[in-house]
A and B are shown apart, each in its own frame.
Chain A
């Protein structure tokens, strides 16, 4: 027991020595170049693998997403429209900026956990949780001032003259009152959940 401990110690010790002592057999240039390319490989690999989990195909590889929210989204303007511009799942649900994206990806481990538990693996379970899940997303969008919406939609470039009278009026009001997209535009990409009556800022649309 004590012998193996000493062995381990000496191994760790040797490794530490190797890492802290100047190298005798490699040129600084070699080390720099190798380090540079290894860095690119690791950094690229990290981002590449993160991007693999950042597309619609990955999102709907779980039936929880495919059978519920994805099917509903197929009927909406963000899936099919006049100009053919689409917003896929991550466009709205994963931030574009790197730091926020990584934060969101770390949070997503909780989703993996509940996927493994099967928290929403039937339609009934999904519907029972839907209000809570929707509220979570609405809260995030409110807190980030609808950052993901604004990757495409912005007040600065809205031509109010082109808009209908009612939407033009509402958007002007939204600017004046510092409102954010999700304050009004709930239930535009997925169905509204049951029980939204009384949710702050939602007009009385429920039963």
Chain B
């Protein structure tokens, strides 16, 4: 009995592999790996590093867009202990630092209670707010800012 099951399983596996290899062979022409057409034993030069766009504030592309960050953030600590973004962007520091204050909505608790500090649910800034680099779009698209549609 057991041999029978084994034999069937083996047979199925062989057929499966054959089908798969045939399928991939026929699909090979239209598919390239992300690596490009470089041979496995050759190195591919690294792409240029893209530096964050800094210095100029971004305009929003649509009303609800979380504002983008026009500076580097890689050295800033945002964790359970501290949030260094608040050093400039929380009130009242933002006045002296001439930095945009975080939105008033960020001082509301999830249940709608007004708080005197940034709400825990808004703590991790970079969940929504991100820096930008001058990169090629990964997929060509026809995105248009809602400002341009008005």
Identify the A interface with B (CB < 8 A): 75-77, 166, 187, 191-196, 203-207
Contacts and interface: CB of A to CB of B under 8 A. Distances in A.
Nearest to A72: B77
Interface residues of B, number: 18
Contacts of A166: 97-98
Contacts of A205: 82-84, 86-87, 90
Residues of A contacting B: mostly: loop
B98 A207 contact: no
Interface of B: 75, 77, 79-84, 86-88, 90, 93, 97-98, 117, 120, 123
A187 B77 CA distance: 8
Contacts, number: 49
Given A166-B98, A205-B87, A194 B80 contact: yes
Nearest to B116: A204
A195 B80 CA distance: 10
Given A166-B98, A205-B84, A192 B117 contact: no
A203 B82 contact: no
Contacts of A195: 81
A203 B83 CA distance: 10
A126 to B, nearest CB: 12
A204 B86 contact: yes
Contact of B81 (A75, A193, A203): A193
B98 A191 contact: no
A204 B117 contact: yes
B53 to A, nearest CB: 15
A191 B84 CA distance: 10
